[in-house]
């Protein structure tokens, strides 16, 4: 799951926050009141963080998908457990199969959330055990 959060985080950007005071950032003035948007997807895919070795991120939770600081997700461990259980349960109980190649999934073009436009899947109908 952390690999997905590194490579395809569902939260592309955060909602704007506003600078509380003037500050210089990389030689540029950020004035008090300026809106700031954290590009989570961009931060997670920074080429300076990626050596190209797929083993470098194994087990790494250094992505910013859960946010950071006082506005971070208050329960990232719990969120991981809930997501893992939900995904495993869906896959086990429904035997979900993607009907198209994964590369053909079309992604919604939005600034905030990464989500497919549609997700064509099939799964067998439940059999009545009675």
* DSSP, residue by residue, 19-61: -SS-EEETTEEE-TT-EE---HHHHHT-TTT--S-GGGGTT--
Handedness of CA 40, 6, 92, 77 (dihedral sign): negative
pTM for this predicted structure: 0.63
- Rounded CA-CA distance 76/17 in Å is 21
φ, ψ (nearest 5 deg) of residue 96: -65, 135
Q: Mind listing the pLDDT tens digit for each residue in 81-112?
A: 999 999 899 888 888 889 999 999 999 998 88
Q: Mind listing the pLDDT tens digit for each residue in 32-80?
A: 999 999 888 888 777 777 677 777 766 677 778 887 778 788 998 999 9
SS3 for 80?
helix
SS3 for 5?
helix
- Rounded CA-CA distance 108/104 in Å is 13
User: What is the pLDDT averaged over residues 1-10?
Assistant: 81
């Amino acid at each position: 799951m952390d690999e997905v959060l590194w490579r395809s985080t569902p939260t592309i950007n955060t909602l704007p926050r506003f600078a509380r005071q003037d500050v210089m950032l990389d030689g540029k003035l950020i004035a008090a009141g300026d809106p700031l948007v954290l590009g989570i997807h961009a931060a997670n895919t920074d080429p300076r963080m990626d050596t190209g070795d797929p083993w470098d991120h194994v087990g790494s939770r250094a992505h910013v998908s859960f946010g950071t600081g006082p506005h971070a997700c208050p329960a990232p461990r719990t969120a991981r457990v809930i997501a893992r259980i939900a995904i495993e349960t869906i896959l086990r109980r429904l035997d979900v199969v993607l009907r198209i190649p994964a590369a053909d999934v079309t992604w919604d073009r939005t600034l905030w959330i990464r989500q497919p436009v549609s997700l064509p899947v099939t799964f067998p109908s439940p059999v009545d055990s009675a």
